[in-house]
Amino acid sequence: MVSKKKKKYSSGEGAQFMTRKAALKKLQLSLKDFRRICILKGIYPREPRNRKRAQKGAGGIKTLYHTKDIKFLLHEPIIWKLRELKVYQQKIRRARAMREYKQMKKYLRDHPQINIDHIVKERYPTFVDALRDLDDCLTLCFLFSTFPSLKKVPRDQSMLCRRLTVEFMHAVIAAKALRKVFVSIKGYYYQVELEGQTITWIVPHHFSFQPQSKDEVDFKIMSTFVDFYTMMLGFVNFKLYHSLNLVYPPKLTAAFSADTDKDLIDEHVYVAERIAAMNMSLSKVAGANEAEDLPEIDIFNTEDEDPQKLEEAKLEAEKVKKLKTMFKGLKFFINREVPREPLVFIIRCFGGEVSWDRDHFVGATFDESDESIAYHIVDRPSMDKQYLSRYYVQPQWVFDSVNARTLLPINQYLMGAVLPPHLSPFVDKTKDQVYIPPEERALNDPDFKPLDGNESGTDIEEASDEDKDDEEEEDSEEDGDAEAALAKQYQQEVEEDSTSDEDDSVDPEKKKLAKEKKKAMAVTAGVPHKEHPYQKEIEDKQAFRLREKLVRKKHRNLYKSMKAGQEKRKKEIWLLRKKRRLHDEKVKEEKKVEKRKQKVQALEASA
């Protein structure tokens, strides 16, 4: 029996991959709908090992998808909804063209809605899975919450993002889950710890919105991502609120009525504004525990039962426990020029009370004249009216205190003072190659002194290497002196033994031979030999190359990727040092120019 000959590209990579054009043909979707369904289902283009085989011999570079992923999309019910939407759009267009406005209104009323609840449950079967993938979700939702109404971004979507993000921030405040904060030119970086998962996101600065041209940003694709992320964040908020015994959707504990505020027009708007202020605690589920207990963290023994690791875990748990109540019992007042939202969020996360000017924004709980205010946060050089019962500090003091996990001394953060450097807490301690700026070195090591104003990391390393070489030379000289002294002492003992041994019965020739043997056995003083550092470096490199050749074949790819990572980190550190050096040189030059101007002005004034 003659076996059938296999067709080319019917197996292997040729059958595993499919081009985007073939996928559109198989699914019978337009490119716009295909992009939307891929974003919602989390399906992305793949990179094959051999592109020529994957493209079935075709040249060029094409967008490829896994065949299994496309087959998986065939059974998605949203595809039928998209087809129904297309049919309704055609009916609406026809009714408008025929001027059948009654029929057109009916079609618009019965327009099918796409529900993606099942996709969220399918992609994130457990709550922890959703928390792990929350970084991008929060970053994009916080970004869209700042947008005005745009052509591709409906106003309802921006308002929904705003509501969901405020709800999430309230949940973080109730859970006291905030751990790290950093202010950069991009915005505010926050890191929280929920259910054992670390979540980091960015909140942009509240500047006036500048419209982008269509070429720079594709708002339609971003809006599709937001459709999925808002649904996902809604699920997460619901679960978080119930785990914290809070009422969802959030409601304020204090009951407001038209009697307290006469200008109340819309109660829903009134409550929503106060919830957005984040200055009031939310109502709890009836029968829930009112006391905020901080349970002890269980620390389990590791497999190796390393006592040092256990001690470090206990210390970390103690630090986190103190951090949660760092601002407890303290009252803060925010001046009108200070950004309100980030500071309210941070202070309330650690148990503090905060307020501001009632005329500036709704939600203020106490006035500026309150004598119990401990800290007044100001971002201006001076103030006319000051109270003796409080400290006037700059906003950076709050951020730095959170990262230091303790209330820092306010000497460097007083009103009008030159602030210390705001260092990033997001440093990976597991990496062996990390760039440490000179300011951080100075904070960690009190004995550290920069070489000059234009200090860089390379200068420090070179200086430390020279010190090490000097120490090694001194140690080698001391070792050489000690060996010479021991050799001299041994020779003296040998001579004393030979002179004290006076036996007449022994033949003089034998005595002579014995003396010669003893002389031959004597230890001579060694001369210290200084190794050439360049030659030693070459020898070490050769030895390292030989060790690299001994790496097994199955581990070579892993070793190569490790080396590539090391080289990448070296390059990053080098670039950061170069940036720092150029910045320092620029500052130095500006200072020189300023000094020259002052001298010229002084000379002109004296003349």
Looking at the DSSP bridge assignments, the partners of residue 322 are: none
pLDDT surpassing 50 at residue 294: no
Considering the domain architecture, whether residues 63 and 161 belong to the same structural domain is answered as no
Considering the domain architecture, whether residues 355 and 422 belong to the same structural domain is answered as yes
The verdict on residue 121 lying in a domain is yes
DSSP β-ladder status, 187-194 and 178-183: antiparallel
- Give the model confidence (pLDDT) of 5-37 as tens digits: 778 878 888 889 999 999 999 999 999 999 999
Considering the domain architecture, whether residues 128 and 61 belong to the same structural domain is answered as no
Taking residue 171's Cβ as centre, other Cβ atoms within 10 Å add up to: 23
pLDDT of residue 485: 63
Considering the domain architecture, whether residues 150 and 93 belong to the same structural domain is answered as no
pTM of structure: 0.75
Instruction: Tokens 């969802």: give the residue.
Output: 248
pLDDT surpassing 90 at residue 295: no
The verdict on residue 320 lying in a domain is no
DSSP string of 212-232, one letter each residue: PPTTT--HHHHHHHHHHHHHH
Considering the domain architecture, whether residues 273 and 168 belong to the same structural domain is answered as yes
- Give the model confidence (pLDDT) of 152-173 as tens digits: 788 888 889 999 999 999 999 9
Q: How many domains does the chain have?
A: 4
pLDDT of residue 453: 44
Considering the domain architecture, whether residues 45 and 151 belong to the same structural domain is answered as no
The CA radius of gyration of the chain, in Å to the nearest whole number, is 37
The verdict on residue 35 lying in a domain is yes
- In terms of residue numbers, what domain contains 382? 326-427
Which of 282-291, 420-429, 466-475 is predicted least confidently?
466-475
- Asked whether the beta carbons of 413 and 376 are under 8 A apart, the reply is no
Torsions phi, psi for 376 (to 5 deg):
-110, 115
pLDDT surpassing 50 at residue 469: no
Mean pLDDT of 429-439: 73
Last residue of a domain, which of 427, 461, 478?
427
Considering the domain architecture, whether residues 338 and 377 belong to the same structural domain is answered as yes
- Give the model confidence (pLDDT) of 318-364 as tens digits: 888 888 888 888 999 999 889 889 999 999 999 899 998 888 788 88
- Asked whether the beta carbons of 400 and 440 are under 8 A apart, the reply is no
Considering the domain architecture, whether residues 94 and 136 belong to the same structural domain is answered as no
DSSP β-ladder status, 17-19 and 64-66: antiparallel
Residue 478 DSSP SS3? helix
Q: How many residues does the chain have?
A: 607
pLDDT of residue 234: 93
The verdict on residue 526 lying in a domain is no
Taking residue 232's Cβ as centre, other Cβ atoms within 10 Å add up to: 21
Considering the domain architecture, whether residues 387 and 404 belong to the same structural domain is answered as yes
Considering the domain architecture, whether residues 237 and 144 belong to the same structural domain is answered as yes
Considering the domain architecture, whether residues 177 and 246 belong to the same structural domain is answered as yes
Mean pLDDT of 507-531: 78
Taking residue 235's Cβ as centre, other Cβ atoms within 10 Å add up to: 15
Last residue of a domain, which of 427, 453, 487?
427
Closest CA to 395 of 324, 339, 323, 325: 339
Q: What is the band of 520 on the pLDDT scale with cuts at 50, 70, 90? A: confident
Mean pLDDT of 426-454: 70
d(CA 428, CA 23): 42
DSSP β-ladder status, 187-194 and 197-204: antiparallel
Taking residue 274's Cβ as centre, other Cβ atoms within 10 Å add up to: 16
pLDDT of residue 227: 92
Taking residue 515's Cβ as centre, other Cβ atoms within 10 Å add up to: 13
Taking residue 554's Cβ as centre, other Cβ atoms within 10 Å add up to: 7
Considering the domain architecture, whether residues 131 and 101 belong to the same structural domain is answered as no
The whole-chain average pLDDT of the chain stands at 81
